Amino acid sequence: MAQPEASSGNGGQGSEGRGVEVVALVTSAGGLEALSGVLRVLPADFPAAIVLAQHLGGQGSVLVDILARRIGLPVKWACEGGRIQPGMVTVCPPRSALEVLPDRTCALRPAERVQTERPLDALLTSIGDSFAGASLAVVLTGMGSDGAAGAAAVRAAGGRVIAQSEETAEFPAMPAAAVAAGAVDLVLPLYDIGPALVDAALGRRLPLASDETQAIRATFGDEGVMAGQAAQLDWSRTPLGPVSSWSPTLRSVVRLMMASPEPTFVFWGDDMLWLSNDASLLFMPGREGSLLGRPYAEVVPEVWDEVRPQYQRVLDGEAQQYHSVPYLYMRDGRMQKVWVHGTNTPIWEPDGTVGGIHRVIHERTDEVLAARRLSALDALAQAPRADSRREALSGAVEMLGDAADVVFAVAYLLDSSSTRAGLVAAAGVEPGGALAPRELPLLPGAAWPLHEVSEPVVVDDLSSRFPGHVVGTDQVTPGAAFVHPLHDDAEERVVGMLILGVDPYLNLDARYREFLMLVGDSVEGRMADAQARHRERRRVERLAELDRAKTEFSRTSRTSSGPR
């Protein structure tokens, strides 16, 4: 018996999920033994309702009695207005068509001619319409094709369909018709169907057919995280359908992707269904699960609007290469800036159409950050020398206003008693505003806790300390700031404070802290140089004043000691 084609329905992800609520079994010739074989293995606490229908003649009136003797679950005939119940087998009466409504009540009508009235199709269609993804249909042995259209309706509604395998069916025509109609998720031998129903009722994944298992292994390999996820995923429930039904092009390019040592992705079809390798996991920390087979817009919605025009050009046949492009990705549960080099290549099908996109990326975040931080430090080092602390601080803050990794900068000088701080300059925030008051008492409760700072510290509660405020050219909500006390060794005290805003979209890791520390040290050095120059000027001025005084004293002495 041929295996089913790919499903186009919207299936669930992962190996565990929502259990089915209603199982419908349909059969015809040879059905009594098949029904007995499936139902006798179901446990007494089976959580789903079971409905069955068989093309029954006159002897069918004893079907309920026979099943009651053979299986452990309670069995009853369906009646008009009666309700199906979990753990109960409800049987369609002879020469009737049974439909189950969304409220679980039964509706019966006469069906004397099965060839024209197709009662099995009617039952399965009603199950799909009423229970959608919570339904499961089983097509067992029988003659004819009744049940095939109903199975297709269940599958189209998001439910699942199992067909009995040809070698175990006494009359294989009926399950074969369902398979030929593309209405079947899985073909199983009779003895495997009962355990599969238990798994389905408990939300577990249906077992895989042998050719599907082989196709998954051949496409994804059998080593690594993503290969393991691919083996556990019920591909028939994804828009891509079973791996065994994929085009040779898709299977080949995915095998190439899995073998790549670089972060590599395949986005397939108009919805850009997501496939990726193990190396890609390092690029997307916090998103290690439930990626495969989902639309790109669901996996990374935060960049979808930004990248959609770019990817559409690739789907139109354009190959792309780009360098150090910035993106904002959700990583480890928060938005973070990322810079990447990469290529986007169209995947051409034999008919000349583009089936999807092959994407390879190389993250360059560390290199970008290192280069621009070095540039900021170089700018501070090469700035003209200042003549005073205030001038040094003001000039440094002005330059830091252009530093990409300092979203705002605020500088204060302390008074001689170190009890108050006066604002010198601010960049990225409004001078005199909430984040940069003109004066700050060095006391608890002030806008900035400068009274506690004797060594560089991180203040990480800015969102609550300054609620509703935004900072920087991008007007972002501040999260943390690095507060660097500015010492004067000659005076042996802290003479100023430099507050540096941390980019909320970057990790405040050791490298970032080191950069902010070097910025503070550099500004402190500029202030020390300016103060030393100021002291030297004062010393020279005092020496000059003393020299003038000595000269005046000498002139006065000569005048007063002249001839009388």
Closest CA to 500 of 407, 437, 432: 407
Nearest-CA neighbor of 218 among 251, 179, 250? 251
Query: How far is the C-alpha of 100 from the C-alpha of 494, rounded, in Å?
Result: 81
At residue 388, what are phi and psi to the nearest 5 degrees?
A: -155, 165
Would you say 25 and 92 are in contact if contact means Cβ atoms under 8 Å apart? no
Annotated active-site residue in 28, 96, 236, 244: 28
Give dist(CA 377, CA 394) in Å, integer. 16
Catalytic residue among 96, 126, 145, 146: 146
Question: Pick from 180, 113, 150: which is nearest to 25 by CA?
Answer: 150
Backbone angles phi, psi at 140, to 5 degrees: -105, -175
Known catalytic residue at 28: yes
Q: Could you give the dihedral angle defined by the CA atoms of residues 439, 442, 443 and 448, in that order, rounded to the nearest 10 degrees?
A: 70
- Out of 55, 405, 484, 503, the active site residue is 55
Nearest C-alpha neighbor of 513 from the set 331, 397, 369, 383: 369
Long-range CB contacts for residues 463-468, cutoff 8 Å, separation at least 24: 466/434, 466/435
Cα distance between residue 527 and residue 521, in whole Å: 10
Please provide the size of the chain in residues.
564
Q: How far apart are CA 261 and CA 279, in angstroms?
A: 6
Q: Extract the tokens encoding 413.
A: 């000088």
| Rounded Cα gap, residues 53 and 77, in angstroms | 10
55 has catalytic annotation: yes
Catalytic positions are 28, 55, 146
